[in-house]
Amino acid sequence: MTYQDILNAADLYDADLTGGTLAVHTPIDAARIAQLKTHTADDVSTMIATGVEAFRAWRLVPAPRRGELVRLLAEELRAEKENLGRLVTLECGKILQEGLGEVQEMIDICDFAVGLSRQLYGLTIASERPGHFMRETWHPMGVCGVITAFNFPVAPWCWNAALALVCGDPVIWKPSEKTPLCALATLKIFEKTLAKFGDAPNGLLQVVVGERDAGEALAASRDVAIISATGSTRMGNAVGVKVAERFGRCILELGGNNAMIVAPSADLEMALRAIVFSAVGTAGQRCTSLRRLIVHEEIYAQLIPRLVSAYEGLPLGDPLADGVLVGPLIDAPAFERMQGALEQVRADGGTVHGGARALADRYPEASYANPAIAEMPAQTDIVRQETFAPILYVMKYREWAEAMALHNGVPQGLSSCIFSTDLREAEDFLSAVGSDCGLANVNIGPSGAEIGGAFGGEKDTGGGRESGSDAWKGYMRRQTNTINYSRELPLAQGIKFDI
Ligand code: UN1
């Protein structure tokens, strides 16, 4: 299939792909695949106004009927899984299996949201006053701005949008300027869904094509009730402060610096497979990628050489090709940042295995890199930063307390895991004094979370929760109701106030 075929199969044609100034390149060989028109600040204001109008109508549609729209979206996504998955691979460079997995994640969250559409439960609460009754009601909140990153160009949009739509909120989506085509293709799928649904208001989903200023305009607008942003901690800081200034609601899913502790009792065969998938999957460009390995000194010499040799055999190349496990980095600056980090590792006294540029002859303009393992003498500053590249920092520990201190001794708090068959150790890792992350796993890697749980993390990761569990509450406003069905007017707290 040519790039043109992939684009056309995703319903993108010349009219969609040309006529503007935003160049989109595939990381596969850095070829330009589109030159898109971008939206101006005025366009963004118009979109927000359209979103507000859509909200006025959508909030009145019964939630189970809103769920029907999301059910139809899941049907379209099932039909388009291959086409959209391939476009994900073309535009962001993850291998096709992962591109397909991302679309599957969209389908899964839609299914979840359909169920939710009949379960937006509030509490009933006993009143302290006779003849009174209290309850909690969840109402639609308003326009939801969704800002997404290049590395997961569609799934995080869907975690947000499927819930927001069921909760009664129209969505304005600002995708990464590196992966706008996936958003445009998804918009087309959504439009087909709307046609089947029938009577939805105009503007339930709008896509803003643009750079950082477009995201900032959304963050600054009082008419955008919720901003859900996925990306770097730096971006989250900029967006979070802007939204906080106007007391808007923010859901932030930012950087991670995810670790695995490998304890002496670990099943090393399983650990090895989990390490490789979670450290090199998506070429180390997941927010949940494994970045730090904290290995007990007793098993270090058994595990690390095997890991180094597993890395040497990894098939690297065109992410659309069968059998390839590691694709390219998103672009040349990403490659430069990786090389900069490895230089710092050497300056810190670390030993680097791998990490060099690869396939430069075949793809001179693209940025393929051999995944790197960096054996570190200590958890230095570079280890404490998130470098969005396939670098796995390895450190040794002797005492359990030392492992936990290393584990939690970074600014980020997204995902974490332990490989151990010792129940005490594993439960300690999951306890109040254990991992300080939003996700903590036992005997599986830190990446590849399912949609059923709440997804997100603490500290520099931003504190937001998306996807499963009760994350839907982030897309609705809670109202506490007190109803007096008596003929008296007693005051709470027993206060007397007779006039
Ligand atoms: C991301 O990298 O922004 O848990 C999201 C995972 C995926 C989502 C990653 N389900 O790795």
Distance 288 CA to ligand 1 centre (A): 6
Beta strand pairing status for 224-230 and 171-174?
unpaired
Distance 430 CA to ligand 1 centre (A): 20
Q: What is the pLDDT of residue 113?
A: 98
Q: What is the pLDDT of residue 213?
A: 87
Tokens of 325: 């496990």
Q: What is the pLDDT of residue 220?
A: 96
d(CA 115, CA 107): 13
Q: What is the pLDDT of residue 375?
A: 98
449 lines ligand 1 (CB under 6 A): yes
- Is 158 one of the catalytic residues? no
Report the C-alpha dihedral over residues 209, 213, 214, 218, rounded to 10 degrees: 160
In the chain, which residues have pLDDT < 50?
A: none
Distance 332 CA to ligand 1 centre (A): 23
Beta strand pairing status for 458-459 and 357-358?
unpaired
d(CA 76, CA 84): 11
Could you tell which of 286, 416, 467 is best to mutate to test the pocket of ligand 1, judged by most ligand atoms within 8 Å of the CB?
Answer: 286
Q: pLDDT tens, 109-118?
A: 999 999 999 9
Q: What is the pLDDT of residue 46?
A: 97
Catalytic residue among 287, 386, 417, 466: 287
Residue 276 CA, distance from chain mean position: 21
Q: pLDDT tens, 50-106?
A: 999 999 999 999 999 999 999 999 999 999 999 999 999 999 999 999 999 999 999
285 lines ligand 1 (CB under 6 A): no
Q: What is the pLDDT of residue 399?
A: 97
- Is 287 one of the catalytic residues? yes
Stated pTM of the model: 0.97
d(CA 350, CA 119): 52
Q: pLDDT tens, 400-434?
A: 999 999 999 999 999 999 999 999 999 999 999 99
With residue 466 as reference, give the H or E element that holds it. strand 466-467
Q: What is the pLDDT of residue 221?
A: 97
How many residues comprise the chain? Answer: 499
CA-nearest residue for atom 7, ligand 1, is 448
